[in-house]
Structure 1
Amino acid sequence: METFERARLDAYFDRIAFLFAPTECPASLLITHLLPERPAFVRGVAAMTEVRAVLPKPKSVHTEALRRVEGDGHVCDKLSRELFADPERAVRYLDTRAAGRPIVLFDVGGYFAPSIEALCARFSGRILGVVEDTENGHRRYSDLVDPPCPIISVARSPLKDPEDFLVGQSIVFSTEALMRGRGDILHGRTAFVIGFGKLGSSIARLLHAQGVRVTVYDIDPVRRTQALAQGFTVARDREAGLGEAGLVLCATGALALRGEDFPRLRNGAYVATVTSSEDELELTGLPNVYERAHIGEHVTRYVTTGHYFYLLNGGNAVNFLHGAGVGPFIFLVQAELLAASAAIARGDLGPGMHETRPADRAAIATTWLDYFNR
């Protein structure tokens, strides 16, 4: 980013912090993608909370962004699903970082969900609540039978709609870029989009606009009817769609392909995802008769007798290979995350799932327009 762009972004987050800063400053743990623009967001979080640790998402760490965040004095710890899958380990970790403190947990993908009950019950401080960014994480927290603390999700916020559309665009761009690196193109292939939520529907529309034949599948029958109404072919089931597609795009945020699904892929099919391989693909269940070979930058061929397919970026989100940029629209969502943390810090929310207030969203949108609609 240019110096003047950084200055404007810092001024924007200063304004957001002024609008929403809580009366008392809690501690925080911050899980985040560490992309080039992200240090300004981390500074915004630090203006409203005492950041005890930043946990960068493993597949989206930009070296310069990491250097700048650490240069601002923040501890950056290694993030994994295993860290918070074991409640005992999760409690010990929080006690090393924020013992005795009231704390807000910033999440991206439901990392804290498996241990949140233990954290609320046994952490030496107090879990004020969780702020969740993604649809994948939203579902993980929604699946909790009795959430022990407030959880504010921005995954379905209208302020996130521009990001979802532009992320879909970046997924299509990066997928085609990797294919073109092998001399292949999108045209002439049928694309199979698994998942017709906000991201999946965006991907399907963008592929269709480029003249690609698109088939859709979603486990939700309501979404399947929506896909039909928008003119897409809808597969009867996942297996039927896999056998016909030259490109499979997984956009469920959960588990799109199980081990037994891979042998059903059409020969020479490409597989790409919008999130991490550990969430979207059961690669460990792939029959061990398949051999792997890296045949191009970020392209892996899986081959066995009579069958082969290509996996892009190791099954991780392809758009992070090209920056995953969505322009200044990401700052709408980041500001809502800050507003959500302030709402949790106020302490007037009960346990369970919540959204930010419409008035707060309107204030964020107005502020964003002042800074970025120029």
Structure 2
Amino acid sequence: MEQFERARLDSYFARISRTFAPRERPASFLITHLLPERPSFVRGIGTSTDLRVVLPKPKSIDPAARRTIEKMTQCDTLTREMFENPDTAVDYLESRAAGEDVVLCDVGGYFAPALDALCDRFSGRILGVVEDTENGHRRYAERDKLPCPVVSVARSPLKDPEDYLVGQSVVFSTEALMRSRGDILHGRNALVLGFGKLGSSIARLLHAKGIRVTVYDIDPVRTTQALSQGFGVARDRDTALHGAGLVLCATGSVSLRGEDFATLRNGAYVATVTSSEDELDLAALPDVYQQTPSADHVTKYQTTGHFFYLLNGGNAVNFLHGASVGPFIFLVQAEILAGIKKLTHGELGHGMHEVGAADRATIAATWLDFFNRNQ
């Protein structure tokens, strides 16, 4: 990022931070992808809150971004396990923010398993959670009762441009990895598992490239949406897996289990839009499969009479090429800051919430001032 671009981005987040300044400045814990542009967003969080620690998503860390953020605040290693055990989770928060009012900024529902214990036993007060992703939204929403407010930006209209461009980056990276082996997308039937925001974006982009696309989703509403947009819809998932030369997993909730891999046709490629532990049950893959590198970030799984290729170890393929969605990501990051402000007002009940339309309009107008180059 050029110096003038970084200065503009810092100015943007400075204005957003002023616009959505909390009444009182709580402590915060931030889980985030550490991509090259991320320090400006982290500075914005640090302006609105007393940022105690950044927990980078482990498979998307830019070393230069991490070094920059380590000069601002503490960076700790993030694992799912640290918040799956309530005792460990409470001890961790006590070590960083004992007795404080705390906002938890999440990407993927990491805090969800220990949230009851954090709200009940932490010596401070959990004001709430701001969640960024659809996968995390579901982790919180599926609970019978939430012990604090959760403001989700996952389904915000400001996230639509990001979702579309993430879909583009997934298709780009998938094709790049296939081409590294001398293969191409064309001539292969593609199966998209999950027709949510990302899955539908991927399906449309593949179709625009002339690829035959079949969709499978357990939600009948999404299935009808896929049909209305001209996609083939699989009723029998196993048959669809067997016929696909490319399988793109976009459910966020274990697309392929151990027994499913044997159903893949020989030579099929498997790619995902999120982390392997969320999308693939690789641990249950039969031991008879041997793994050998086939190209950079392409692993061949082979047993007698069967083989397939897994891209980027089952992790999100687009992070191999920066996962860039341009300045549109700054819309969602600004909405996270607006969500923090809502939590600090203390007026939200326990449950799921969204940022209001007026705040979204303010964010969009501010973003246009800084990033609409066609003005």
* TM-score normalized by the length of structure 2: 0.99
Distance 1:130 1:340 in 2: 9
* 1:163 aligned partner: 162
* 2:33 aligned partner: 33
Q: Which amino acid in the other structure matches residue 291 of structure 2?
A: R
Deviation at 1:371, TM superposition (A): 0.4
For structure 2, the residue ranges without an aligned partner over 5 or more in a row are none
Distance 1:274 1:107 in 2: 18
Deviation at 1:346, TM superposition (A): 1.1
Q: Which runs of 4+ in 1 moved over 3 A?
A: none
Q: Which amino acid in the other structure matches residue 24 of structure 1?
A: E
* 2:242 aligned partner: 243
Distance 2:236 2:349 in 1: 40
Distance 1:108 1:24 in 2: 24
Distance 1:237 1:119 in 2: 43
Correspondence list, 1:278-297, <5 A: 278-297=277-296
Deviation at 1:34, TM superposition (A): 0.2
* 2:173 aligned partner: 174
Deviation at 1:237, TM superposition (A): 2.8
Distance 2:23 2:142 in 1: 32
Show CA shifts across 1:229-282 (max 9, x none): 100000013212100000000000111001000000000000000000000000
- Say yes or no: does 1:54 pair with 2:54: yes
Deviation at 1:71, TM superposition (A): 1.9
* 1:216 aligned partner: 215
Distance 2:239 2:57 in 1: 34
Q: Which amino acid in the other structure matches residue 195 of structure 1?
A: G
Q: Which amino acid in the other structure matches residue 307 of structure 1?
A: H
Distance 1:173 1:48 in 2: 36
* 1:359 aligned partner: 358
Q: Which amino acid in the other structure matches residue 40 of structure 1?
A: S
- Say yes or no: does 1:319 pair with 2:318: yes
* 1:65 aligned partner: 65
Say which SS state the counterpart of residue 55 (structure 1) adopts: strand
Paired residue total = 373
Deviation at 1:363, TM superposition (A): 0.3
* TM-score normalized by the length of structure 1: 0.99
Deviation at 1:39, TM superposition (A): 0.4
Correspondence list, 1:111-126, <5 A: 111-126=110-125
Q: Which amino acid in the other structure matches residue 244 of structure 1?
A: G
Distance 1:43 1:8 in 2: 13
Say which SS state the counterpart of residue 243 (structure 1) adopts: helix
Deviation at 1:287, TM superposition (A): 0.7
Deviation at 1:23, TM superposition (A): 1.5
Say which SS state the counterpart of residue 344 (structure 1) adopts: helix
Distance 2:342 2:23 in 1: 11
Distance 2:237 2:106 in 1: 30
Show CA shifts across 1:303-352 (max 9, x none): 00000000000000000000000000000000000000111011111100
Show CA shifts across 1:120-149 (max 9, x none): 000111000000000000000001111000
